[in-house]
């Protein structure tokens, strides 16, 4: 059976229908044999190295419809750890496609070791020249989100004007850089001065502003887009989306990527009251889930890996140490404490 060891997990210990908080998550110690148990054909046992801290986790804590099973009290998930994206090392495998020692990224759980019974959605990490953590960031789900969301759903053309909200985060920083590569004028907003400086100086946005210092979003957008916005990459929803609709140009596109301003209050979502703009200006607004587009992953890698290696795009990570830091890190996303892609190092390889 292999040696039995004690290991840490993060579980949902309190399920709240309204707003959720850090203390609804807790740390638990369990025991595991570092061998695939009998009867688990097709499984892999992994050591988790990096865990991705993503906004959708909070929505799942509240049983919201996201195409993924939520962590509710009435399901067995209560006793299972939170799940999410991670980079892991295969310790044992009874699956023909995975071998001991291989590195993978994909869905795993917030724990030091995981038995993954359905590893078909794991991706093998082939390129060892880049930091492993990139596979839950620029080379993983957030990178794919920026790529698919911008190039497929925004259909950019050279010279167009692009606005990105939550622009310094995991997805936003890449959308802005893709927009510059596509020859667009790009403006981003973020929640403090450090992030605004990063947008202008490191990610080469044309302009950036601190939305928390703006009394009137309509006036701010007029200042940066006197002739209007062709493309809005929406990461936040709510009042900002409403203001952007007032500034959209004829035949504009809005990619509905995320609505982080609404996730902790979805029982009483803010309304968008001016949709008539979308009609009059023939704006195409489209929501998307990256999970529907993983068939594009090999093409995405072909494009993005050289851009990273030639230093044509850059990526900023915000790294927390130890699995104990995961609950605090998650809730830091909602106050904007993270600067760049937020992740937790569970173990070094």
Of 20-28, 79-87, 125-133, 335-343: span binding ligand NAP (CB under 6 A):
335-343
- Between strands 248-256 and 317-321, the pairing is unpaired
Report helix, strand or coil for 130: coil
* Token pair listed for 289: 């889930």
Residue pair 84/60 in contact (Cβ under 8 Å)? The answer is no
**What's the min distance (Å) between Cβ of 271 and ligand NAP?**
16
**Closer CB to ligand NAP, residue 98 or residue 334?**
334
**Closer CB to ligand NAP, residue 239 or residue 249?**
239
Distance, CA of 256 to CA of 320 (rounded, Å): 29
Among 122, 338, 344, 345, interactor with ligand NAP by CB under 6 A: 338
Residue pair 265/19 in contact (Cβ under 8 Å)? The answer is yes
Among 108, 114, 235, 247, interactor with ligand NAP by CB under 6 A: 235
Q: Among residue numbers 74 through 113, which ones bind ligand NAP (CB under 6 A)?
A: none
Of 3-11, 150-158, 161-169, 267-275: span binding ligand NAP (CB under 6 A):
161-169
DSSP code, position 271 = P
Map residues 265-294 to x or -, x wherever contact with ligand NAP holds by CB under 6 A.
Answer: -----------------------xxx----
- Of 23, 34, 28, give the one whose Cα is nearest residue 11: 28
**What's the min distance (Å) between Cβ of 32 and ligand NAP?**
29
Map residues 13-52 to x or -, x wherever contact with ligand NAP holds by CB under 6 A.
Answer: ----------------------------------------
Residue spans of alpha helices (H) in 109-258? 141-147, 172-181, 193-201, 217-224, 238-247
Report helix, strand or coil for 270: coil
Report helix, strand or coil for 214: coil
Contacts of 216 (CB under 8 A, 6+ apart): none
* Token pair listed for 332: 């830091």
Q: Does 133 bind ligand NAP (CB under 6 A)?
A: no
**What's the min distance (Å) between Cβ of 80 and ligand NAP?**
22
**What's the min distance (Å) between Cβ of 254 and ligand NAP?**
13
Q: Does 188 bind ligand NAP (CB under 6 A)?
A: no
Distance, CA of 271 to CA of 242 (rounded, Å): 8
Of 85-93, 185-193, 219-227, 271-279: span binding ligand NAP (CB under 6 A):
185-193
**What's the min distance (Å) between Cβ of 45 and ligand NAP?**
27
Q: Residues 272, 285, 307, CA angle at the centre, nearest 5°?
A: 120
Q: Residues 184, 188, 191, CA angle at the centre, nearest 5°?
A: 175
Q: Does 171 bind ligand NAP (CB under 6 A)?
A: yes
Distances (CA, A) of 61 to 21, 30, 55, 243, 257: 10, 21, 11, 29, 20
Within 13 Å, how many C-alpha atoms sit on residue 96's CB side?
0
Q: Does 145 bind ligand NAP (CB under 6 A)?
A: yes
Q: Does 199 bind ligand NAP (CB under 6 A)?
A: no
Contacts of 163 (CB under 8 A, 6+ apart): 186, 187, 188, 189, 221, 224, 225, 229, 231, 232, 233, 244
Among 169, 176, 252, 327, interactor with ligand NAP by CB under 6 A: 169
Among 45, 91, 103, 170, interactor with ligand NAP by CB under 6 A: 170
Contacts of 66 (CB under 8 A, 6+ apart): 56, 59, 60
**What's the min distance (Å) between Cβ of 212 and ligand NAP?**
7
Q: Does 334 bind ligand NAP (CB under 6 A)?
A: yes
Name the residue number minimizing CB distance to ligand NAP.
169
**Closer CB to ligand NAP, residue 182 or residue 259?**
259
The contact set with ligand NAP (CB under 6 A) reads 54-56, 142, 145, 166, 168-172, 190-192, 195, 235-236, 257-261, 288-290, 333-334, 336, 338, 341-342
């Amino acid at each position: 059976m292999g040696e039995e060891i004690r290991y840490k997990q993060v579980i949902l210990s309190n399920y709240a229908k309204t707003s959720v908080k850090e203390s609804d998550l807790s740390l638990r110690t369990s025991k595991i044999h570092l061998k695939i148990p009998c009867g688990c054909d097709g499984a892999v046992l992994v050591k988790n190295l990096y865990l991705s801290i993503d906004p959708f986790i909070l929505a799942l804590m509240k049983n919201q419809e996201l195409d993924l099973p939520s962590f509710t009290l009435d399901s067995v998930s209560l006793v299972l750890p939170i799940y999410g994206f991670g980079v892991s090392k295969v310790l044992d495998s009874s699956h023909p496609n995975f071998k001991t020692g291989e590195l993978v990224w994909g869905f795993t759980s917030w724990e030091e070791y995981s038995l993954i019974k359905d590893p078909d959605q794991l991706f093998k990490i082939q390129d060892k020249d880049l930091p492993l953590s990139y596979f839950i960031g620029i080379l993983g789900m957030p990178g794919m989100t920026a790529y698919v969301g911008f190039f497929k759903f925004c259909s950019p053309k050279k010279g167009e004007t692009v606005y990105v909200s939550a622009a310094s985060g995991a997805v936003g920083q890449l959308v802005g850089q893709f927009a510059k590569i596509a020859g667009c004028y790009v403006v981003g907003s973020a929640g403090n001065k450090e992030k605004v400086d990063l947008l202008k100086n490191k990610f080469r946005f044309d302009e950036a502003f601190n939305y928390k210092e703006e009394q009137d979003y309509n006036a701010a957008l007029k200042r940066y887009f006197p002739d209007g916005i062709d493309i809005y990459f929406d990461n936040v929803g709510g009042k900002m989306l409403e203001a952007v609709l007032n500034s959209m140009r004829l035949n504009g596109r809005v990619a509905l990527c995320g609505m982080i301003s609404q996730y902790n209050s979805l029982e009483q979502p803010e309304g968008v009251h001016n949709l008539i703009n979308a009609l009059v200006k023939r704006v195409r607004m489209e929501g998307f889930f990256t999970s529907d587009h993983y068939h594009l992953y090999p093409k995405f890698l072909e494009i993005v890996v050289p851009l990273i290696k030639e230093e044509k795009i850059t990526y900023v990570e915000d790294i927390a140490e130890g699995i104990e830091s995961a609950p605090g890190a998650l809730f830091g996303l909602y106050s904007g404490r993270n600067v760049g892609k937020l992740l937790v190092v569970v173990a070094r390889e």
